[in-house]
Amino acid sequence: MRFRPCIDIHNGKVKQIVGSSLRDEGDRADTNFASELDAAYYAKMYKKDGLKGGHIILLNPAGSDYYEKTRRQALGALAAYPGGMQIGGGITAENAESFLDAGASHVIVTSYVFKSGTFYKENLERLLSAVGRSHIVLDLSCRKKEDGYYVVTDRWQQFTDMKLTDKVLTELSVCCDEFLIHGVDVEGKRSGMEEELVRMLGNWGKIPVTYAGGISSKEDLDRLKELGGGKIDFTVGSALDLFGGKLPYEKVKRYS
């Protein structure tokens, strides 16, 4: 169980937002924290502390007025910690290699593969051909229905018919090196984890999985380790004191 640090960039600034509030129209989001420090600052910190495998997320889409500003911040972070971090947000088969060349260890793919409630397997195959399985992290962010957790698309607003099961995880694992899974309903709310989801992921545990969503205390981390059998890596955003929360970064980083 390792801590995977994050750098989320929205409108050209390092931020922590309430994930379910994100809207492309008007580049709007409910913000928990906005930093006056740039993305490279955080990347250098993570490098100094030996934290590998964290993720940089561009929260503005390519058509946004803020996209280039956000992208420049991301590229600065990659340059500050080459090979140390993953990157996601608008990744496609056409641009993935450029981010790897800029210093990313992996690309995190979301909307290119899951969009408008549909799984585009052919796009995942294109990405595989472009950069290879060892450089791909598949984002399976999900929300709960009565019968389980389902992958969601379009800024986490639209459900797909893909239910997360052991079979689905196993089938998709041949196409990626890792999974990144947000418990969307608790993302950015500091309200505790999706425990049922964490337990399922820990029981599966065939390739690395990073869980995000709701972790806000040392007790949550202990519970994560228990439920996930020590197999699930984790990321913490708005709950960290780095980003305005109360959970000490100096303690959390020791999980690496």
Residue 102 has pLDDT above 60, yes or no: yes
Q: Is residue 25 very low, low, confident or very high in pLDDT (cuts 50, 70, 90)? A: very low
Angle at alpha carbon of residue 237, lines to 223 and 247, rounded to 5°: 60
Give the pLDDT confidence of 55-73 residue by residue, as tens digits.
Answer: 999 988 888 889 999 999 9
Strands 54-58 and 178-182 turn out to be: unpaired
* Helix axes of 39-48 and 67-80: crossing angle, nearest 10 degrees: 20
Backbone angles phi, psi at 54, to 5 degrees: -75, 175
DSSP one-letter code for 162: E
**Residue of 185 and 61 predicted with greater confidence:** 61
Between CA 85 and CA 127 the distance in angstroms is: 19
Residue 22 has pLDDT above 60, yes or no: no
Between CA 56 and CA 41 the distance in angstroms is: 13
> Who's near 134: CB < 8 A, 6+ residues apart?
177
Of 9-18, 42-51, 125-134, 239-248, the range with the lowest mean pLDDT is 9-18
**Residue of 119 and 18 predicted with greater confidence:** 119
**Position 138: which residue type?**
L
Residue 19 has pLDDT above 60, yes or no: no
> What mean pLDDT do residues 189-218 have?
89
Q: Is residue 28 very low, low, confident or very high in pLDDT (cuts 50, 70, 90)? A: very low
**Residue of 85 and 141 predicted with greater confidence:** 85
Give the pLDDT confidence of 155-176 residue by residue, as tens digits.
Answer: 778 899 999 999 999 999 999 9
**Entry pTM:** 0.91
